[in-house]
Amino acid sequence: MLDQFRGQYIGGRFTTSSSGEIFRSVNPATAADIVFEAQESPDSVDSAVESARSAARRWRRSGLDARIAALRAVQRMVPAHVDAIAEAICSEMGKTLAEARIEANSIGSKIEGVIGQIHHELPPAAPGAPGQQRFHPMGVMGIVGPFNFPIHLLNTHVIPALLTGNTVVIKPSELTPLCGQRYAELFDDAGFPPGVLNMVQGGGAIGAELVGHDGVDGIVFTGSYQTGRRIREATFDQPHKKVSLELGGKNPAVVLDDAHLDQAVREILLGALLTTGQRCTGTSRVIVTAGVAAELRDRLTSAFSKIHPADPSNSETFMGPLASLQSRDRFIHCLEQAKTEGAQVLVECSAGNDGAWVTPGLYEVDGTESFLEEELFGPHVAFEVATDADDAFRRAANTPYGLSAALFSASEQALEDFYDVVRAGVINFNRSTNGASGLLPFGGTGMSGNWRAAGSCAPRLSTYPVAFMKADFGTVTQNPRLELLLDEVDAPRPNRF
Ligand code: NAD
């Protein structure tokens, strides 16, 4: 039996409406089973923003300790909700149950992490300055999430926004509305103050209404470059609005002749195939120097041939299906295009029926193919041979994206050269391109995004800085020229002007 749709979460209550478009999430493992039926509500964005604005002052003035206490109450409820959240992630977007449980549990660890870093990230002291720096909450933050981390990529922005004193309106992906409902239920069960966290359900039109709303002071968007671009355009005439964009990636792993090949192979597999290749930080290019190219090609070919997708709800499964039939068809189409441009098949991706199934693919390229500039979001690697380290770094830097990059080598000097040449927000040495830390900055350059609204910079991104200066009570600033004028009060001279 389907879970009951409880509606929009506004002002601490779930509310349904009699009109509004109905939409459904479908289990990608079967492409037939409806998981959840949800409904948009025509006036939900106005109501949710109004609710968030009404709650803003009280929440802001409640102080950090009270906000920490409210979030600790949420954190205590997480274990009781983990199973339901993980099952929703698994059934709505096909993530393996093992990965989904990690994602569900990360709600609590994110709360812990942001509480731990907030003082450090927002220091009031400005050494040598005649005052303090304070960080004022933006006000109402609109947070729009993608399907691939349907809980984490709401939560990772919600927690810093709330702790710094903002109220929020979230919009989950339309592919994962049950995940959204379960996230709101967690806060509701924890007795979270009404109006501080609100949720609207729906597709792109609801997202567009939220990000463009006059009552929203800041936006954190995670999703594709194409949608991020639309949001930039839509907010062009709202220059006061902070628009943080966490977008896609086309992430290279460079393997030099002196690399530890066992390590490189293992990390490339995890980088390319975890979450069925649907991570913004996933490895989609491997660039290898000539000395180890043949061996790496053989080892990756062998490994890619052995890995197959399987039932994501089985706790032993490494890789599930893609998130939807549309994702599967687009992915396969892009790879077919790549072949027409000259990409050579080492291991062919093939699509299965009865679900959004694809097998991992490995393609050899010369670096000129246009798909190397496009995020495909599926389990594959483009394999490219470079003449030497300089050539490899140049190829890795040749991308419009700039989210994550990895280098496999024994040489720290090579790492410094790589860091100098490759522009990316996350640099990994002898580790996979994915597996980011919330305690470090997270985000990308180029088409991967603008600010760093996730990771350690998130508290600052949820605020605007204020210079805060005080004088001792009753002291006045001396200005000799002003004193002269004031002394002349009894015998004024004619004003020249
Ligand atoms: P998407 O851009 O299709 O949708 C993301 C969200 O935006 C959805 O909730 C959607 O309803 C909403 N939306 C659509 N049109 C909108 C509009 N005009 N205005 C406002 N909101 C709108 O992305 P997706 O397919 O859900 O997610 C996959 C993408 O997300 C990939 O490109 C991936 O790399 C990226 N991603 C980036 C990061 C990161 O941190 N950089 C993390 C995860 C995913």
Which residue ranges in the chain fall short of pLDDT 50?
Answer: none
Cβ of 91 less than 6 Å from ligand 1:
no
DSSP string for residues in 175-192: T-HHHHHHHHHHHHHTTP
Cβ of 153 less than 6 Å from ligand 1:
yes
Q: Are 36 and 3 in contact (CB under 8 A)?
A: yes
Q: Which of 209, 246, 364, 384 is catalytic?
A: 246
pLDDT value for 452: 83
What are the angstrom distances between the C-alpha of 106 and each of 70, 122, 172, 253, 319?
17, 23, 17, 26, 20
| Atom of ligand 1 lying closest to residue 280 CA | 34
pLDDT value for 489: 61
Catalytic, 416? Answer: no
Cβ of 231 less than 6 Å from ligand 1:
yes
Cβ-Cβ contacts under 8 Å for 168 (sequence gap 6 or more): 52, 140, 141, 142, 143, 158, 161, 162, 196, 197, 198
What does the pLDDT look like over 342-396, one tens digit per residue?
Answer: 999 999 999 998 999 999 999 999 999 999 999 999 999 999 999 999 999 999 9
Whose Cα sits closest to atom 42 in ligand 1?
280
pTM, full prediction: 0.96
The span from the CA of 50 to the CA of 15, in Å, is 15
What does the pLDDT look like over 255-294, one tens digit per residue?
Answer: 999 999 999 999 999 999 999 999 999 999 999 999 999 9
Cβ neighbours, 10 Å, residue 420: 10
Q: Whole-angstrom distance between the N-terminal and C-terminal Cα of the chain?
A: 85
pLDDT value for 451: 83
| Atom of ligand 1 lying closest to residue 454 CA | 40
Structure tokens at 440: 């470090």
Cβ of 406 less than 6 Å from ligand 1:
no
Give the 3-state secondary structure of residue 385.
strand
Q: How far is the CA of 113 from the centre of ligand 1 (A)?
A: 25
In sign, the C-alpha dihedral spanning 166, 171, 176, 177 is positive
pLDDT value for 487: 86
Catalytic, 280? Answer: yes
Structure tokens at 258: 């002196």
Q: Are 378 and 276 in contact (CB under 8 A)?
A: yes
Cβ of 204 less than 6 Å from ligand 1:
yes
